Amino acid sequence: MVELGKNTSVLIVYTGGTIGMIENRETGALENFNFEQLQNHIPELKQTNCKIDSIQFDPPIDSSDMDPDAWRKLVKIISDNYDQYNGFVILHGTDTMAFTASALSFMLEGLSKPVILTGSQLPIGVLRTDGKENLMTSIEIASALDGEGKPMVPEVCIFFENHLMRGNRTTKLNAENFNAFRSFNYPVLAKAGIHIKYNKSIIHKENIDQVLKPHYLLGTNIAVLKLFPGMHENVVAATLAIDGLQAVVLETYGSGNAPQRKWFFRLLNEASKRGIVIVNVTQCCAGTVEMERYGTGLHLLNSGIVCGYDITTESAVTKLMFLLGHEYSPQQIRELMGQPLAGEITLG
């Protein structure tokens, strides 16, 4: 039995994004407005049994401006208010929502309450907005308890267009349609129709002894290198020679393949030996890297490149930032990239 709303409380954190924007009548451009105005557009917010409080970023930001400082701010808000609320809803622009969700999944170690990120493709004030539905259902999910009074979804998720997805498995795939996000390599955690149907067997299980351990340190000396046919040696060489570079997400073809060029393997090998952690992530939306499958992938393995399995680029970047924020050696980071820390990869 699922108990919704009653005697529960949710903290909404409004960071910015389309969901809370309004059209400037003179210029036609979308501009941020505040959470109080947003509430006026959704009177239902005041009618639920659930106690809803809000905090807003001042000023609200377009998610293109999200960065590790903003993630730290979110972690601090959640950690400071952790005991007072059943769950948290973060209103966020869609453009970088998958990065924020991935980062939070690593930074909020030991999380045992729902943190649901949502936003919209059309502003709340617009008649056909998807924001109202996304927001109301996110609140319902963030406050949902099971028959034993435990949170239904004790993890960082994105809720968008009727689908609840594990945050660190998501990618923004559509700039036009309402279903802007997809979790290609992990099933949806819940679907919202007349009822919200939770896929309990694949949702992270809350461990009662779990204590929230917020992390604030992130290392950002990272590059993403996306392969394309005809890529010049000097592009790869210049990237790997970046001063202070500590890690690279190498976006390869298919199941983790790369061109068989001697200069390419030499450059990667030298960079690995210098302590740069290079992770093999596929350019494909779905599927996994299997470096032993083709000779081209095997060459990468022999050059010291680590397998990213079915990780998204968003998750690989933020996981590397998280690991670089600790005092791990490059070898320890390579090993941890091969282990799921927050359900971000599937092994074997």
- From residue 16, give the alpha-carbon distance in Å to each of 175, 189, 258: 17, 25, 39
User: How far apart (Å, rounded) are the C-alpha atoms in residues 339 and 162?
Assistant: 30
Nearer to ligand ASP by Cβ, of 63 and 129: the residue is: 63
Phi/psi of residue 23, nearest 5 degrees = -80, 130
Nearer to ligand ASP by Cβ, of 123 and 219: the residue is: 123
Q: Which residue from 223, 221, 202, 227 is spatially nearest to 289, judged by alpha carbons?
A: 227
Closest distance of CB 225 from ligand ASP, Å = 24
Nearer to ligand ASP by Cβ, of 16 and 154: the residue is: 16
Closest distance of CB 52 from ligand ASP, Å = 21
Question: Per rule CB under 6 A, is residue 170 in the interface with ligand ASP?
Answer: no
> Catalytic: 18?
yes
- Secondary structure (3-state) at 115: strand
Judged by CB under 6 A, the stretch of 11-19, 106-114, 217-225, 302-310 that binds ligand ASP is 11-19
Closest distance of CB 6 from ligand ASP, Å = 32
User: How far apart (Å, rounded) are the C-alpha atoms in residues 187 and 199?
Assistant: 9
Question: Per rule CB under 6 A, is residue 131 in the interface with ligand ASP?
Answer: no
Strands 9-14 and 87-91 come out as parallel
Owner of token pair 């000023």: 59
Size of the site for ligand ASP (CB under 6 A): 10
Nearer to ligand ASP by Cβ, of 97 and 291: the residue is: 97
- Secondary structure (3-state) at 277: strand
Binding mask 194-213 for ligand ASP (x = CB under 6 A): --------------------
In eight-state DSSP terms, residue 208 is: T
Q: Which two tokens stand for residue 216?
A: 């604030």
Q: Which residue from 284, 293, 289, 247 is spatially nearest to 268, judged by alpha carbons?
A: 247
- Secondary structure (3-state) at 51: strand
Q: Which two tokens stand for residue 223?
A: 């590059």
Closest distance of CB 87 from ligand ASP, Å = 22
Question: Per rule CB under 6 A, is residue 95 in the interface with ligand ASP?
Answer: yes
Judged by CB under 6 A, the stretch of 16-24, 181-189, 202-210, 323-331 that binds ligand ASP is 16-24
Which position's Cβ is nearest ligand ASP?
93
Nearer to ligand ASP by Cβ, of 119 and 343: the residue is: 119
CA pseudo-torsion sign 199, 201, 204, 207? positive
User: How far apart (Å, rounded) are the C-alpha atoms in residues 255 and 258?
Assistant: 10
Question: Per rule CB under 6 A, is residue 18 in the interface with ligand ASP?
Answer: yes
Among 8, 11, 12, 17, binds ligand ASP (CB under 6 A): 17
Among 119, 131, 297, 308, binds ligand ASP (CB under 6 A): 119
Question: Per rule CB under 6 A, is residue 297 in the interface with ligand ASP?
Answer: no
Q: Which of 18, 96, 312, 318 is catalytic?
A: 18
CA pseudo-torsion sign 89, 77, 114, 5? negative
Binding mask 40-69 for ligand ASP (x = CB under 6 A): ----------------------xxx-----
Closest distance of CB 114 from ligand ASP, Å = 21
* 124, 17 contact by CB (below 8 A): no
Nearer to ligand ASP by Cβ, of 87 and 119: the residue is: 119
Give me the amino acid identity at 109. E
Give me the amino acid identity at 175. A
- What ranges in 108-156 are assigned the alpha helix state H? 131-143
Nearer to ligand ASP by Cβ, of 95 and 310: the residue is: 95
Summarize as ranges the residues that interact with ligand ASP (CB under 6 A).
16-18, 62-64, 93-95, 119
The catalytic residues are 18
